Amino acid sequence: MAVRSARIIATGSAVPDKVLSNADLQRIVDTTDQWIVEHTGIHERRICTDGEATSDLAVRAAQQTLARSGVSPEDIDLVILATVTPDYAFPASACLVQDRIGATNAGGFDLEAGCTGFVYALCVGAAFISAEMYNHVMIIGADTLSKVTDWTDRATCVLFGDAAGAVLLGPCERGSGVLSYVLESVGALGHILDIPVGGGRCPLTPENIGEGKHLIQMDGHEVFKQAVRRIPQVSQKAIRKAGLKREDISYLILHQANQRITESAMKRFGLSKEKVLSNVDRYGNTSNGTIPLLLDQANQEGKFKPGDIVTLVGFGSGFTDGAVVIRWG
């Protein structure tokens, strides 16, 4: 039995300056502001410029986190970057971040678990700390989905944006910090949200690039259905594992994909609206960026009080889902 747990020492985040509004999208594809708002709740999103990549946002989020933490970069033991849009196939973007933030004594690796990656990474980092292997682990969720979005497909391009968020984990007594987590995957559903070419199975060819197969493909209905079914289940499992009840949750931060998914899933879970945070209207779905971005914004607003039960829940390609329950402070 672990004698210690992991807590969030500080949070940070970063988004590109460029705003892409629904009105802007109306000029790119056959859509309307009304359709996008009614079907997704999204009003605008942030998009990188051509020269900006995932590690640039990740570095900004990690630097802000470090500055707020009082921990020096040399004291970071490990950098884990959850992303589906790394700068390169290899080397890992986490290593680029590790170098640029001056974490000279840290190891680094990327973690890929679809949009659930940040939740997975947080649990992996917490496990290293609980096992007394490491004292300070930087967890970053960062993505630039705009680089792999099909800007001719109105069913997907209105959904996505770019962002990064980070947390620095450090040790605490058992009973505080990370209380429990559940990580799940249903590999048989991998095809409902994927980029089918560009890997070892189907290398890039002029033909498949011409067909847009190197960009995000999605069965939106199936993703919606799976998400709404699985989110309440995994949330319930994690809460029960922590020895708590649904009513004990102070705040729940769900992967920001679509406001309708959030509302349907939370209705099924039976959590009251004021406990469910949201910023999808301003940033859209930024994949691994959504949860740490919203967590940081709520933290900076002073929402969380010591002892609050904050639950983070993700879902995404894989099909993956996961939940982590944290006692704040």
Minimum distance, C-beta of residue 229 to ligand UT7, in the bound complex (Å)? 13
Residue 183's alpha-carbon distances to 110, 201, 313, 317, in angstroms, are 17, 26, 10, 13
Choose, by CB under 6 A, the member of 316, 319, 322, 328 that binds ligand UT7: 316
Minimum distance, C-beta of residue 258 to ligand UT7, in the bound complex (Å)? 4
Minimum distance, C-beta of residue 76 to ligand UT7, in the bound complex (Å)? 29
Choose, by CB under 6 A, the member of 220, 259, 275, 278 that binds ligand UT7: 220
40 or 130: CB nearest ligand UT7: 40
Minimum distance, C-beta of residue 308 to ligand UT7, in the bound complex (Å)? 26
Is residue 22 flagged as an active site residue?
no
7 or 255: CB nearest ligand UT7: 255
Is residue 288 flagged as an active site residue?
no
Using CB under 6 A, which residues numbered 168 to 197 contact ligand UT7?
193
77 or 162: CB nearest ligand UT7: 162
Say if residues 293 and 167 touch (Cβ distance below 8 Å): no
Structure tokens at 233: 């289940």
Minimum distance, C-beta of residue 99 to ligand UT7, in the bound complex (Å)? 30
110 to 139: interface string for ligand UT7, x by CB under 6 A: -----x------------------------
Using CB under 6 A, which residues numbered 227 to 286 contact ligand UT7?
257-258, 261, 285
39 or 241: CB nearest ligand UT7: 39
CA atoms of 238 and 244, how far apart (whole Å): 9
Choose, by CB under 6 A, the member of 68, 147, 154, 268 that binds ligand UT7: 154
Does position 158 interact with ligand UT7 (CB under 6 A)? The reply is yes
Does position 85 interact with ligand UT7 (CB under 6 A)? The reply is no
Is residue 157 flagged as an active site residue?
no
64 or 320: CB nearest ligand UT7: 320
Which residue in the list 258, 285, 288, 299 is annotated as catalytic? 285
Does position 13 interact with ligand UT7 (CB under 6 A)? The reply is no
Minimum distance, C-beta of residue 106 to ligand UT7, in the bound complex (Å)? 29
Which residue in the list 48, 214, 255, 288 is annotated as catalytic? 255
Does position 141 interact with ligand UT7 (CB under 6 A)? The reply is no
Show Cβ contacts of residue 9 under 8 Å, excluding neighbours closer than 6 positions.
69, 71, 136, 167, 168, 169, 170
- 3-state SS record for the chain: CCCEEEEEEEEEEECCCCEEEHHHHHCCCCCCHHHHHHHHCCCEEECCCCCCCHHHHHHHHHHHHHHHHCCCHHHCCEEEEECCCCCCCCCCHHHHHHHHCCCCCCEEEEECECECHHHHHHHHHHHHHHCCCCCCEEEEEEEEHHHHCCCCCHHHHCCECEEEEEEEEEEEECCCEEEEEEEEECHHHHHHEECCCCCCCCCCCHHHHHCCCCCCEECHHHHHHHHHHHHHHHHHHHHHHCCCCHHHCCEEEECCCCHHHHHHHHHHHCCCHHHEECCHHHHCECHHHHHHHHHHHHHHCCCCCCCCEEEEEEEECCCEEEEEEEECC
Does position 31 interact with ligand UT7 (CB under 6 A)? The reply is yes
**Phi/psi class of residue 226: alpha, beta or left (left: φ > 0; alpha: ψ in -120 to 50)?**
alpha
304 or 315: CB nearest ligand UT7: 315
Interface with ligand UT7 by CB under 6 A: which residues? 31, 35-36, 39-40, 115, 154-155, 158, 193, 218, 220-221, 223-224, 257-258, 261, 285, 316
Q: Which of the residues are catalytic?
A: 115, 255, 285
